[in-house]
């Protein structure tokens, strides 16, 4: 186990989406050293089998452990849904946090939580991971899920608030029209990009929008504090990707709003 | 070299899209034995580097050669754009056809070809593969390209002719409004699903829509005829995929309109 304060926080995702988590972690913990791993050669995970996703998650966990990380954040909802326990077991006593557990806790901390909405990729919705995670804590909470497969390609096309994005969101979110949800979990790391558009489409100002990137960053901060592992002298950010480091670098700089110079291609 | 008439035609694609090619080949050559390879674990190729795509294409070509195929059809525009020559070289004297070369020939056979439109994935458009292929034959032909990254996810969502699909096509095809194209090449194997919607969006009845699945099937038939390799006693269809054989089987049955019983998972 690496219990060195200077050790890095490892964050991984199937691709670039987890950069919303990296951004939230940098904002919450600016003095931590961060290693981001994006599996850009094998993205997207959402259409792959559980078996394949577990295999990939274990490979990446191994890689991060070899870098001596003090904590691992699973920034990918698909991995959180399918392979969280595998990563936990592999990591031994290094804490492993995931976006689903963190997002669930934030949603349940909300003043009222009789009915929670969840949007995500097909894989996340089919796994019912949020539903299971919520019901493990409050079995009486109603959960309504909706898969939104077009939102990731829309976000990557940069179509966030044009009429096509709004109509697509309208189609997907119409399922929540006649159910009275208290909060809506954005169960995919790309979805925070639509955070400003969703309330207008939902046509309900009272629904709390839960951004699991912010949730996991908050949980990471609290966990490091409890373990006495907060770093006060770091602040580095380095990235490892399995394909197309230059494209990743461009997107990372756009996502993070800062220069990203340290992107290394690696093969697992 | 396998010059046995009974030998199979090998068709490969990054995933399920190439089934539009398989369908066109089955329609044109119902007595051929066909092996389809879909790299469903590593789909989509369109966002990967040329180097990675070439590596994958060589692995799949090797696999098909090990099955003793008499001909290989590259049913993936991304592979056709990036790795056709690698596959050709690996295959020795087994003919290798690809959707880009076939689509180009059909477009140029059209009565007028002073200006050709091409739509495709980002990777296909960035590679300028159709432009190069057209200019190698008629350097004076104008080519206007447009990337349409949302069409594949729309097709997989089953949103073919709703208002979101129509508006998305309208956005993408508006580039052809003020250029007088004679034909439009559907440069992605998913796009034939929008074939009936596109003329209305283009608002021009005189543009010939070129479906490269039909083009490559026609070329395959002519090539086998010339080589004396047409099969009269086959008709089998078997599939190899790298992930999720059951989902593939369901989609294949929908694409082909027939029962598909022979789907085997394989690891390269």
User: Residue B147 domain-assigned?
Assistant: yes
- B40-52 pLDDT, tens per residue? 998 888 778 889 9
- Residues 27-56, chain B, touching A (beta carbon < 8 A): 40-44, 47-49, 52
Q: How many CA atoms lie within 13 A of B182 on its CB side?
A: 14
- A59-92 pLDDT, tens per residue? 999 999 999 999 999 999 999 988 999 999 999 9
CA distance A93 to A203: 45
- B64-88 pLDDT, tens per residue? 999 999 999 999 999 998 899 999 9
The helix or strand, by DSSP H or E, that contains position B254, with its residue range, turns out to be helix B245-256
Residue B236 maps to which CATH number?
A: 3.40.50.1860
How far does the CA of residue B88 sit from the closest CA of chain A (Å)?
24
User: Residue B3 domain-assigned?
Assistant: no
**Out of B43, B153, B164, closest to residue A167 by CB:** B164
**Mean pLDDT, chain A, whole residue set:** 93
Q: Are A218 and A88 contained in the same domain?
A: yes
**Out of A48, A52, A164, closest to residue B167 by CB:** A164
Q: Is B190 on the interface with A (CB under 8 A)?
A: no
- A104-158 pLDDT, tens per residue? 999 999 767 799 999 998 888 988 999 999 999 999 999 999 999 999 999 888 8
Quick check: bond before A44 cis, omega within 30?
Answer: yes
B48 vs A244: CB contact, 8 Å cut-off? yes
How many Å separate Cα A148 from the centre of its chain? 16
Per-residue pLDDT at B3: 63
Q: Are A119 and A189 contained in the same domain?
A: yes
**Mean pLDDT, chain B, whole residue set:** 93
Q: Are A105 and A207 contained in the same domain?
A: yes
**Residues comprising chain B, all counted:** 268
- B168-211 pLDDT, tens per residue? 999 999 999 988 899 999 999 989 889 999 999 998 768 999 99
Catalytic residues of A: 76, 188
Q: Are B183 and B220 contained in the same domain?
A: no
Per-residue pLDDT at A87: 97
Q: Are B115 and B199 contained in the same domain?
A: yes
How far does the CA of residue B30 sit from the closest CA of chain A (Å)?
31
Question: What residues have CB less than 8 Å from A65, skipping those under 6 apart?
Answer: A90, A91, A94
Question: Which residues in chain A are closer than 8 Å to B171, comparing Cβ atoms?
Answer: 164
The encoded tokens of residue A180 equal 């009275």
User: Residue B1 domain-assigned?
Assistant: no
Q: Are B197 and B117 contained in the same domain?
A: yes
How far does the CA of residue B167 sit from the closest CA of chain A (Å)?
7
Residue ranges making up the domain that contains B166: 101-212
Q: Are A13 and A94 contained in the same domain?
A: yes
Query: What is the arithmetic mean of pLDDT over B118-138?
Result: 92
Contact criterion met (CB below 8 Å) for B59 and B89? no
Where would I find the H helices in A92-211? 99-109, 122-127, 129-137, 151-157, 163-173, 198-202
Per-residue pLDDT at A241: 97
pLDDT of residue B2 exceeding 60, the answer is no
Q: Is B140 on the interface with A (CB under 8 A)?
A: no
Q: Are B17 and B48 contained in the same domain?
A: yes
ipTM of the complex: 0.79
Q: What's the pTM?
A: 0.84
pLDDT of residue A47 exceeding 90, the answer is no
Q: Are B120 and B181 contained in the same domain?
A: yes
pLDDT bracket for residue A1 (50, 70, 90): very low
Catalytic residues of B: 76, 188
The helix or strand, by DSSP H or E, that contains position B74, with its residue range, turns out to be strand B71-74
Q: Are B219 and B203 contained in the same domain?
A: no
By percentage, how much of chain A surpasses pLDDT 90? 75
User: Residue B2 domain-assigned?
Assistant: no
User: Residue A1 domain-assigned?
Assistant: no
B48 vs A167: CB contact, 8 Å cut-off? no
Q: Which of A185, A212, A239 is at the close of a domain?
A: A212
Mapped onto helix, strand or coil, the DSSP state of residue B10 is: strand
Q: Is A250 on the interface with B (CB under 8 A)?
A: no
Mapped onto helix, strand or coil, the DSSP state of residue B226 is: helix
User: Residue A4 domain-assigned?
Assistant: no
Question: Which residues in chain B are closer than 8 Å to A244, comparing Cβ atoms?
Answer: 47-49
Query: What is the arithmetic mean of pLDDT over A160-188?
Result: 94
Question: Which residues in chain B are closer than 8 Å to A44, comparing Cβ atoms?
Answer: 44
User: Residue A181 domain-assigned?
Assistant: yes
**Residues comprising chain A, all counted:** 268
Q: Are B189 and B110 contained in the same domain?
A: yes
Question: Which residues in chain A are closer than 8 Å to B153, comparing Cβ atoms?
Answer: 149-150, 152-153
How far does the CA of residue A225 sit from the closest CA of chain B (Å)?
39
- B206-249 pLDDT, tens per residue? 899 999 999 999 999 999 999 999 999 999 999 999 998 998 99
Quote the number of domains for chain A. 2
User: Residue B123 domain-assigned?
Assistant: yes
Number of continuous H segments (helices) and E segments (strands) in chain A: 11, 10
pLDDT of residue B1 exceeding 60, the answer is no
Cross-strand bridge partners of residue A265:
A241
Closest C-alpha among B17, B49, B37 to residue B187: B17
Q: Are B117 and B192 contained in the same domain?
A: yes
- A178-221 pLDDT, tens per residue? 888 999 999 999 898 899 999 999 987 689 999 999 999 999 99
CA distance B22 to B9: 10
CA distance A164 to B206: 28
């Amino acid at each position: 186990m690496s219990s060195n304060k200077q050790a890095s926080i490892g964050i991984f995702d199937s691709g670039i989406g987890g950069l919303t988590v990296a951004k939230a972690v940098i904002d919450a913990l600016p003095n931590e050293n961060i290693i981001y791993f994006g599996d850009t050669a094998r993205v997207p995970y959402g259409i792959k089998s559980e078996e394949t996703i577990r295999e990939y998650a274990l490979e990446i966990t191994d890689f991060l452990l070899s870098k001596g990380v003090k904590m691992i954040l699973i920034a990918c909802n698909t991995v959180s849904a399918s392979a969280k326990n595998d990563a936990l077991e592999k990591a031994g006593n290094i804490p492993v946090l995931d976006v689903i557990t963190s997002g669930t806790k934030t949603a349940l901390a909300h003043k009222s939580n009789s009915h929670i909405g969840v949007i995500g990729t097909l894989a996340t919705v089919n796994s019912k991971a949020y539903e299971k995670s919520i019901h493990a804590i409050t079995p009486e909470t109603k959960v309504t899920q909706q898969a939104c497969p077009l939102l990731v390609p829309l976000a990557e096309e940069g179509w966030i608030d044009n009429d096509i994005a709004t109509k697509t969101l309208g189609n997907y979110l119409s399922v929540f029209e006649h159910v009275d949800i208290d909060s809506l979990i954005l169960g995919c790391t790309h979805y925070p990009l639509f955070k400003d558009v969703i309330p207008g489409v939902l046509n309900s100002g009272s629904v709390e929008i839960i951004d699991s990137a912010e949730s996991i960053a908050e949980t990471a901060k609290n966990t490091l504090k409890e373990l006495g592992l907060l770093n006060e002298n770091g602040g580095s950010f380095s990235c490892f990707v399995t394909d197309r480091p230059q494209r990743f670098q461009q997107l990372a700089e756009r996502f993070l709003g800062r220069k990203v110079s340290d992107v290394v291609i690696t093969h697992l």
